[in-house]
Amino acid sequence: MLKIYSAPTLPDAHLVRGLLAQAGIDARVFNENAQSVMGEIPFHQAWPEVWIMNENDAKQTRELIHQIEQPQATSVAAFCPHCHEENPANFHTCWNCGREF
């Protein structure tokens, strides 16, 4: 077993564990209830932790965690060639004139 990640919140820890499970990596979340003793111990020691069961998965695990920690690139707006209205980059139909582009 190898501790691979400490999360500031329990949902964050489960998000990472779920991502690893999708990649076929066996992982567990520990310290799920430790936040109740925060103040009695240093706060970072009460954070939920994600541990992987197989240390050979460490490199792949770190790469996956790095991907979710990086901010997503912002999309460039798309402009309708018909009415020249600005649309979100993932639109394929203009919200203003309704025509496809």
The pLDDT assigned to 52 comes to: 97
Supply the range of the domain harboring residue 50: 2-69
Q: Count up the domains in the chain and report the number.
A: 2
Lowest model confidence (mean pLDDT) among 3-7, 36-40, 85-89: 36-40
The pLDDT assigned to 89 comes to: 86
* 65/78 same-domain check: no
> What CATH code is carried by the domain that includes residue 8?
3.30.70
* 63/28 same-domain check: yes
Contact 4, 52 (CB under 8 A): yes
* pLDDT (mean) for 88-92: 88
* 65/88 same-domain check: no
* 50/10 same-domain check: yes
Is pLDDT of 38 > 60?
Answer: no
